[in-house]
Structures are given as structure tokens and as C-alpha cells.
Structure 1
Amino acid sequence: MTPLATVNSEYIKLTSTRSPYWCVAIVVVLSIGISTLIGAVLASTPDTGLGISDYLLGLNQFGVVVLMIMAVLGATSEYRFGTIRATFIATPRRARVLIAKAVVFGGLAVVLSAVLAVISLGAVKALAGSSSKFSFGDADALRQLWGTPIWALLCVIVGLGVGALVRHTAGAVVIILVWMLVAESILAVLPKVGSAIGPFLPFRNGSRFLSSTASSPDYHWNSYVSLGYFALFAVLVFVAAIVVVERRDA
């Protein structure tokens, strides 16, 4: 099967099951709903101390987690239902299958997060007006508009990689959620070693790029290097998944 045909096959799989639609719907509700709520609060209480990254909290924190879970399902569902054997028969180059999944799921994450970033910030601006203290031409706003899709893309690649490595949906989802939301938060605040470990934790580096506190002195590099650091981590997880999938039985 040609690369384009493999991508088309993965697109058909994505659009022919219900779970991606549910995941997308949840991301939309979280993104627009939380931004609308923040905009309403700002309209009545202008001095909340929130930054522009907080306006996209529903998207670049909660929504991205849902996109990662969707990516995990994209990798593990085929093992669960036994269709992965047919996929590898049709495309013996297994790396091509994972790359096609990354193209399809990553493309969806980029487009969806880019559109929702605009809508979410627009909702805050429409409700809060000057209380929102930003305009779409500001450097910080532009950083959120192009940085959020990149953050979402990299998280989806991590989700696909972990899903392909673990092959079990529940296990992969638990690993991602505990790692991203629990383990890194705990490691960063451990006495004596937390300050040394914190700057090297991958998800904290990735989310730092979009954070209003990106200039934190605890890191050894600027926020752009943090984004590159997380990108390298995502690529390494994905490459590890390709190597393992190529070597083991389907």
C-alpha cells in the first residue's frame, strides 16, 4: 500500500468510529465553555490577575488531554479488536502505518486546536472587551494562536507512541494521565531534588511555552528551547514505538 493510501486508510478508520466524534465534541465544549465562563467573569470582575494563557485553559490543558486519549485509542483499538494484523498485511512496512496515524490524528489536532484557539479567545474578547487586556495582534496572542496547535500536535504524537508501546487502552491512558497530571507535579515539588528535576520534565517544558509565567528562572533555557525539548521527547517516544512495533508480533 502506498503512503497516500495508508493515510487514506487511517482517515477512514478515524471517521468510521464514534469515539473520535465524542472526543472532538468534548474538546469543543471544554475549550469554548471554559473560555466563555472566563470572559463572563472578566466582564464583571476585570482585575482577576489572569493572563492570556489562562483564557485558553480549557483547550491547552484539558482539551489536549482528551486529544491524547483519542490518539491512544487510535493506536490501541486495532490491537483490541484484532484488526492490526490485517493492517500490517496490507502495509507490511509497519512504520508507515504509525506515521500515517500521526499524520491523520496530528492533522486533526492541529486544525481543531487552531480553530478553537481563535474562537475561544474571540469569546473572551466579545464578553470581556477591554477587560481582557489583549488584542489579536499582540505578540502574546499570536504566540497562543500558533503555539497551541503545535503543543496539541506533539501531545498527540506522544499519545500515539505510548498507545503503540503499551497496546492496551486502559494502561496507556493511565500512564499518560498519571505521568502528565500527577507524576511531574509531584517530582517538581520534592524536597531537595524537585528544583533540579523540574526543569527537565517533558510535559512541564511543553506547557511552559504557552504559560504566562514562561520567564520562570527555574529553567536553564528560554521557553522556545522548552518547546524544542518537548518536541524531541515526543519524537523519541514515537520512534521507540516504531522500533518496538517493527520487532514484535502483531
Structure 2
Amino acid sequence: MTLLAVERIKLFSTRSPWWCMLAALAVTCGFTALITGTSGDDYPVSVQTTQFASNFGLMVILVMAALAVTTEYRFGTIRATFQAVPNRTAVLLAKTGVVALLAGVVGEVVAFASWGIGKVMRPSADLALNSAADWRHVAGVGLVFAVGAVLAVAVGTLVRHTAGAVTLLLVWALLVETLLSALPTVGEKIQPWLPFNAASNFMLMGGTPPPGASVVSQPYGPWGALAYFTGVAAAGLVITIVVANRRDA
């Protein structure tokens, strides 16, 4: 518990988490308002529509999670931490847990705020959470944010440089996966196994996707998609812990 408290204090003692949380909320809710406000009869507002912009918030959360560890490497505080607590595995697990919990809470706030915006702007639309799929579309955003934060911490610890870690995460999520999915012949086969695509499908599968969103045929259901995304993040964290225990701080 002491180690968790230390990691919480270190995280909130810098400005970047606060700015990232505000940015995630502003960007997601702003795009949700824009999408909802410009929707017409051809694309009626649905529960899924209110969550389409959550991917933008996820990108901000990835940056926040990466900064949580790369900032320590930048200023050398990670060395003091490892000296005070020689068990590096415990340190990294505590840091990951704190960041993932914060990301999950932000995800839930962002998701229900976006849903609320849809209810206010389109009171006549059917936005009731009547099914398990509806609840997954909204409440599932927090789970994706939390798992994404685990993956971002792992990448940040491996790379140790803010620019490199943030670039790798954003380029992979926003560009590389799109390019790989567009490859002739093999694109459709590998698309279901791209981690951020799996995360997106967890939030969107089961219903009519919002305009511009694509849900490809998956060899697994929505919860299988989340399990796969979680498995990738967990594998990255295990590799990170092994590497961190073998190299100098």
C-alpha cells in the first residue's frame, strides 16, 4: 500500500496528468457534440455514436500513461525509486496499477459525459441503455482506457524517452494499423489481430457502427476482443519487467 501511495503522489505531483485528463475529456466530448449536432436522418444518433470519439480520448490517455514513466527517466527520479525499493517488479506493478486505475476512471467519466451530451442534444433519440451491448459500448470505454494505459506504461518503460514512446504509440495506433489493414490479400486476415483494432471492436461490436467506423469480421466476440487486447498489454508488461530487471536504471 505504501508503494501505491508513493506512485500516486509522484503521478499527481506533475502537471501532465491533469492536462491530459482535461484534454481527453475536452477532445472526446467536443467531437461527440460535433458528431451529434451534425447527424441527420441518414445516420441517426445511437449509443454507439456517442462513443465514437472515445478513440481520440484513448490517444490522450496513452500519452499520459507513457509520460508517467518517461518523465521519471528524464529527471532521474526512477533511479532514486529503484534504490529505495530494489524490487523493481513491485515498483513497476504499482506504477502500472495506479496509472491504469486513473485511466479507467477517466474513461468512465468521458464515456458517460459523451452519452449525456447525446441525450441533451438529441432528446428524441433512443439512447437508453437497455441491453448488455449498450452498457458495454459506454461502460466498456473505461476498461479499454485502463488496458491501453498498461500497454503505454510498458512501452514508455522500454523506450524510456518521451518523444520516442509517444511517437511509437500514436503512430502504431493511428497509422500503422490502418496501413496494415489496407494491405492487399493479407490485410483482412491480420486486421482482427491488431491490438487497437481489437479494442475498437470491443466497444463497437453488436449493433450499427457509427458513420466512418468499421467493424470487421472477428474470430472472437466483443469480450474476446478485450481479452486479446488485455493479453497484448500483459505480454508487453511482462517483457518490460524482465528488461527493467536486467538493465541499468
Same fold (TM over 0.5): yes
Residue equivalent to 1:55: 50
What's the secondary structure of 2:130's corresponding residue?
A: coil
Amino acid at match of 1:129: P
Residue equivalent to 1:40: 37
Residue equivalent to 1:110: 104
Residue equivalent to 1:8: 5
Residue equivalent to 1:190: 183
Deviation at 1:139, TM superposition (A): 3.1
CA distance in 2, matches of 1:161, 1:217: 28
CA distance in 1, matches of 2:222, 2:167: 28
Residue equivalent to 2:127: 134
Residue equivalent to 1:218: 217
Check whether the contact 1:215–1:222 (CA below 8 A) recurs between aligned residues. no
**Aligned mate of 1:24, from 15, 21, 26:** 21
Amino acid at match of 2:155: V
Give deviations 1:110-143, integer Å, cap 9, x for gaps: 1121122112101111110123x22033433211
Residue equivalent to 1:91: 85
Deviation at 1:217, TM superposition (A): 5.8
Give deviations 1:145-166, integer Å, cap 9, x for gaps: 3211110001000000000011
Find runs of 4+ consecutive structure 1 residues off by over 6 angstroms. none
User: How big is the alpha-carbon RMSD for the aligned residues of Structure 1 and Structure 2?
Assistant: 1.8
Give the number of aligned pairs.
243
**Aligned mate of 2:200, from 178, 194, 207:** 207
Q: Which moved more, 1:208-217 or 1:134-143?
A: 208-217
Q: Which moved more, 1:141-150 or 1:176-185?
A: 141-150
Q: 1:69 to 1:247 in 2, by over 3 A?
A: same
CA distance in 1, matches of 2:161, 2:216: 39
Give deviations 1:77-115, integer Å, cap 9, x for gaps: 111111111000111111111111112111111112112
Amino acid at match of 1:226: A
Amino acid at match of 2:57: G
Deviation at 1:40, TM superposition (A): 2.5
User: What percentage of residue pairs aligned between the two structures are identical?
Assistant: 39
Check whether the contact 2:36–2:49 (CA below 8 A) recurs between aligned residues. no
Check whether the contact 2:47–2:138 (CA below 8 A) recurs between aligned residues. no
**Aligned mate of 1:172, from 165, 172, 192:** 165
Check whether the contact 1:52–1:140 (CA below 8 A) recurs between aligned residues. no
What's the secondary structure of 1:220's corresponding residue?
A: coil
CA distance in 2, matches of 1:36, 1:15: 29
CA distance in 2, matches of 1:199, 1:46: 31
Amino acid at match of 1:236: A
CA distance in 2, matches of 1:141, 1:217: 19
Q: 1:217 to 1:83 in 2, by over 3 A?
A: closer
CA distance in 1, matches of 2:215, 2:178: 16
Q: 1:22 to 1:74 in 2, by over 3 A?
A: same
Residue equivalent to 1:244: 243
Residue equivalent to 1:158: 151
Amino acid at match of 1:134: L
Q: Which moved more, 1:135-144 or 1:206-215?
A: 206-215
**Runs of 5+ consecutive residues of structure 2 not aligned to the other structure:** none
Deviation at 1:55, TM superposition (A): 1.3
CA distance in 2, matches of 1:192, 1:37: 36
CA distance in 2, matches of 1:67, 1:176: 11
